[in-house]
Amino acid sequence: MPVNPPRKSSSATETEAKDLLFRLRRFLRRLLSIRHNADRNFTEQTILASIPFRGHTAWLLVFSVMVASVGLNINSVPVVIGAMLISPLMGPIMGMGYAIATNNIEVFKKSAYNFLVMVALSVLTSFLYFKITPIVARQQELLLRTSPTFFDVLIGFFGGLAGVVALTRKGFFNVISGVAIATALMPPLCTAGYGLAVHNVHYFSGAFYLFLINSFYIGLATFIIIKYLRFPLVKHLDSARRRLIVRLLYGLAVLVMIPSLLSTYTMYRRELFKQTARRFVDANLKFPGARVLKTDIKPDKKEIDVYFIGEIVPESQVAFWKQQLGRYPRLHNARLQVFQTADKRKEIEEALSKKLKGEMLEQFYRQTRQQLQAKEAEIQRLRDSLRLRQARENRFRIPYMQIRNEALTLFPQLREVEYAPVVHGAGSRIDTVPTFLLHWKPGLSPSFRRREEQRFVRWMKRRLRLDTLAVERLR
């Protein structure tokens, strides 16, 4: 009879579950805890040392602003990244977060003062640059800094957390460079200076708001980490006042976030309009003999401009398509315009000329440039191949008569020396080896000829500066 194993009691199962949960919590605590290896003295000294703003720091800020302004002006991402790496703006921002967390009023005043001076100097420098430079076109890198969203809040906050966590332990200081790039404090200030230079309030306010988002949430992240690590307080406050400061700080965080949420919502609606419009065009705008050449979607104006080539689409078909817009909830108030290349009406021809001529020319230029680059690459490859072949041939061209006379003088037992580069093949590999054919006088012993041939090879390698050569004797 088989014996059934004894069943575990409910209390034993509960004990095992509690033990497993305890081990899991201990593992996560060891994995994620930053208190154990935190160096408070190093963190405090590093933050306090980065707050002062004078002399070298001031010039470093001016130079980084100039580099960033030039990068934004010429739309160069690597130049902008370089400017962010040398910018000293992070110090006072972290100093303010540290001062609020430790109730250090003096450090807060010093950090806030240096922060305001840095901001004013940065905006003034970029303003002067964009006033002087002859290039004032709105580049893509400039426009990216004028419409902050909630994603910029996340970048500023988590970038700040990474920076402060890195500062709490020696050896992780190089993370600050990555934080400076991710949070992008310098480009928004330069864009704000650009907005002042071109008298554009929208550019100035949007860029400065992006800078405010990044600065505030870096400071908030510093405050949270310093409080979590329980840095000693410089001045003790009563619990009610401490709670008031924390509430004010978190309240400001929400207020700073609200405009970015509205901007994100607007961006979200624009993107939904674009996606719905593309689906509508792909699913409905089809006609025999005609093809969609281009679709121009304008979410702010709620307009969908579609350009056809081929046969003329009847007005009745276009009217039917416009009725179909009502089937898409997000396209209820949208306006559909259909332009056709076969339609000879003057206004449509003008619209097509303005909209498509530039794009067609640009596409033709891009294709021609790619073909020229491919041809140039092929020509360069052939030139390199020719040079390599000539180099190989020149390598084996030797002053034969001079070498022959020297060899016959140095080796009296030689009657004649012949030379030719011999091509050897091994599988798919082909190599050319300089080969000498030696004619010895009769009556020489084999050992003597071997020694002389070895001596001939050593001399010839030195004489012609060759790594490899072959010697054959006339049999």
Over residues 267-316, the pLDDT tens digits come to 888 888 889 888 888 888 888 888 888 888 888 888 888 888 878 888 88
Do 220 and 112 belong to one domain? yes
N residues, the chain = 475
- Domain assignment of residue 369, given as a range: 356-395
Do 350 and 300 belong to one domain? yes
User: In this structure, what is the dihedral angle of CA atoms 95, 101, 105, 106, given to the nearest 10 degrees?
Assistant: -30
Do 37 and 95 belong to one domain? yes
Do 334 and 407 belong to one domain? no
Do 304 and 344 belong to one domain? yes
Do 75 and 222 belong to one domain? yes
Residue 246 resides in a domain: no
Residue with tokens 């332990």: 169
Q: What is the pLDDT of residues 40-50, one digit of tens each?
A: 888 888 888 88
Residue 382 resides in a domain: yes
Instruction: Quote the pTM value.
Output: 0.60
Residue 189 resides in a domain: yes
Do 163 and 190 belong to one domain? yes
pLDDT in 10s for each residue of the chain, 475 residues: 455 555 556 666 777 777 788 888 887 777 777 777 777 888 888 888 888 888 888 888 888 888 888 888 777 777 877 777 777 788 888 889 988 888 888 888 999 999 999 999 999 999 998 888 876 666 666 666 667 778 888 888 888 888 888 888 766 555 555 666 656 778 888 888 888 888 888 888 888 888 888 888 888 888 888 888 888 887 766 677 777 888 888 888 888 888 888 888 888 888 888 898 888 888 888 888 888 888 888 888 888 888 888 788 888 888 888 888 888 888 878 888 888 865 545 545 555 555 555 666 666 667 777 777 788 878 878 777 777 666 555 555 678 788 888 888 888 888 888 887 777 665 556 667 788 888 888 888 888 888 888 888 888 888 887 777 778 776 5
Q: What is the pLDDT of residues 150-209, one digit of tens each?
A: 888 888 888 888 888 888 876 655 555 566 665 677 888 888 888 888 888 888 888 888
Do 335 and 366 belong to one domain? no
Do 49 and 138 belong to one domain? yes
Residue 9 resides in a domain: no
Residue 244 resides in a domain: no
Do 41 and 98 belong to one domain? yes
Do 218 and 334 belong to one domain? no
Residue 71 resides in a domain: yes
Residue 299 resides in a domain: yes
Domains held by the chain: number? 4
Do 335 and 371 belong to one domain? no
Residue 263 resides in a domain: no
Q: Indicate which CATH number applies to the domain containing 424.
A: 3.30.70
